[in-house]
Amino acid sequence: MASQLLNVSALSAGTEDKPILHSVDLAVGAGECHVLMGPNGAGKSTLGHVIMGDPAYRVTGGRIEFDGADVTELSADKRSLAGIFLSYQAPVEVPGVPLYSFLRTICQKRPELKTTARKFRTRVGEIADQLELDQSFLMRELNVGFSGGEKKKIEMLQLLLLQPKLAILDETDSGLDVDALGIVSRGIQAYREQVSGALIVITHNTRILERLEVDRTHVMVKGRMVAEGPAELIAQIDANGFERFERGDEQGEACAECPGCPKAGDAE
């Protein structure tokens, strides 16, 4: 297990006055696709933000290792340079910053992506076309006045441009119509194919997973990981919801029913 790309161990974190994550473990190998599910308020987004280094949260225990280095204390921009990417559940609007300038600036900071203005323009244009995003969007202020679907496409544009080693997609599929969902799914697939990047997909919607080969599924309830299993666990959750895990969280019996759950032996 020493060669994991991401290794989150016994991670506890929260805001200044509220503990949210309690001793969370999560290991993701290079190129693997993991799904994180759980009821609203379970702490899924918080985990994504803490892995990314969002200063709104404080780590109170445990550690985060990425690509062989301890990144627990690293700032978000350094983690981004190291190859971690977080697609926000609710992308922020940045008035005054044109999308194109934003993309150009973040790419120029990366030695591996630095290129001429002409090549950059071509590359961004190709990705925008791939995502069926009108190129006029590139000149608009970042996310200002964009629809929910357009914001999610901009997140995909960044993903395909930055080619991170690990992408955490936080409900990238929520609020998308069928067409936009298809385009975003294809964007995720292109990321997988082009850079063999690892994924943590946080979702309630199994449709986005149809095109992905899922290696591992994790279930979080009340800030704790309560179950882990193969891709088949997603179908069970889709059919039966989280009630079993929420019960199990208190009674310690949920994992007996999870296929492949490493905790199954403890749950007797």
Ligand X SMILES: Nc1ncnc2c1ncn2[C@@H]1O[C@H](COP(=O)(O)OP(=O)(O)O)[C@@H](O)[C@H]1O
Which parts of this chain interact with Mg ion (CB under 5 A)? 45, 89
* Strands lying side by side in the sheet with 216-221: 84-87, 166-170, 198-202, 33-37, 216-221, 224-229
Among residues 43, 83, 164, 229, the one that binds ligand X under rule CB under 6 A? 43
Residue 38 interacts, among ligand X, Mg ion, none and using kind-specific CB cut-offs from 5 to 8 Å, with ligand X
The answer to the question of residue 56 lying near ligand X (CB under 6 A) is yes
Q: Are strands 4-15 and 58-66 parallel, antiparallel or unpaired?
A: antiparallel
45: contact with ligand X by CB under 6 A = yes
Contact characters 126-145, ligand X, x per CB under 6 A: --------------------
CB closer to ligand X, 107 vs 227: 227
- Candidate residues 11, 35, 42, 157; the one interacting with ligand X per rule CB under 6 A: 42
**Partner from Mg ion, ligand X, none binding residue 18, C-beta < 5-8 Å depending on class:** ligand X
CA angle 156, 234, 212 (to 5 degrees): 35
Residue 118 binds ligand X, judged by CB under 6 A: no
Query: Contact at 8 Å (CB) between 21 and 43?
Result: yes
Single residue of 15, 23, 60, 75 touching ligand X by CB under 6 A = 15
Instruction: Decide if residue 241 touches ligand X (CB under 6 A).
Output: no
Q: Which residues bind ligand X (CB under 6 A)?
A: 15, 18, 20, 38, 40-46, 56
